[in-house]
């Protein structure tokens, strides 16, 4: 018997997402239908071996204008790919599998790990991830919900204050 098609979740061109496995509840992401793969801002990326398999570790900094709340993470390496950025530069990147929460839904997506310090968003969600049943409304933002005011201020490098 054929399963009914899952309805699409409508999201905006920018959304707050979570990495539940890492305990990161808030990362502002750009949803980009022009990008094939998703990318996460990670610094000090280092490959190592665990049980004879390649792994990678690095520091995830969730805020655009602050080093606060960085999280050390480790992932098994799923692949290594050459990725061409929007500026045309090709870069060798590690690809890992990561569960993300977007608009209340958890999905496993492939992420490339790269330094996004010069980019406006710490995370980019590409077409491969959006194929999990997301429809992007390019005129809307934060349809999945806004982070609390204290989090938004922290992301902007401002002192946190109560909501």
At 95 the pLDDT is: 97
Reported as a single tens digit per residue, the pLDDT across 100-152 is 999 999 999 999 999 988 888 999 999 999 999 999 999 999 999 998 898 88
State in Å, rounded, how far the first CA of the chain is from the last one: 49
At 64 the pLDDT is: 81
- Three-state SS for 100? strand
Q: Which residue has the higher pLDDT, 111 or 157?
A: 111
- In this predicted structure, the answer to whether residue 162 has a pLDDT above a threshold of 80 is no
- In this predicted structure, the answer to whether residue 154 has a pLDDT above a threshold of 80 is yes
Read off the pLDDT of each residue in 88-102 and give the average, rounded to a whole number. Answer: 92
Residue 149's φ and ψ, nearest 5 degrees, are -55, -40
Give dist(CA 57, CA 34) in Å, integer: 28
Reported as a single tens digit per residue, the pLDDT across 62-76 is 888 777 788 999 999
At 68 the pLDDT is: 79
Whole-model pTM: value is 0.87
Give dist(CA 20, CA 152) in Å, integer: 19
Distances (CA, A) of 75 to 51, 79, 95, 104: 13, 11, 9, 23
Mean confidence (pLDDT) of the chain? 89
Angle formed at CA 155 by CA 111 and CA 47, multiple of 5 degrees: 35
Where b means 16+ CB within 10 Å and e means fewer, 56-78 reads bbbebbbbbeeeeebeebebebb
At 1 the pLDDT is: 54
């Amino acid at each position: 018997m054929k399963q009914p098609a899952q309805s699409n979740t409508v999201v905006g061109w920018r959304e707050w997402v979570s990495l539940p496995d890492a305990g990161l509840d808030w990362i502002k992401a750009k949803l980009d239908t022009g990008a094939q793969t998703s990318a996460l801002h990670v610094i000090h990326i280092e490959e190592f071996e665990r049980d004879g398999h390649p792994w990678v570790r690095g520091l995830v900094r969730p805020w655009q204008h602050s080093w606060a709340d960085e999280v050390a993470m480790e992932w098994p390496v799923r692949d290594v790919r050459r990725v061409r950025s929007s500026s045309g530069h090709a870069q060798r990147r590690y690809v890992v599998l990561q569960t993300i929460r977007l608009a209340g839904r958890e999905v496993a997506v492939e992420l490339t790990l790269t330094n996004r310090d010069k980019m406006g968003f710490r995370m980019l969600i590409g077409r491969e991830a959006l194929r999990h049943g997301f429809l992007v409304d390019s005129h809307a933002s934060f349809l999945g919900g806004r982070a609390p005011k204290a989090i938004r201020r922290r992301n902007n490098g401002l002192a946190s204050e109560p909501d």
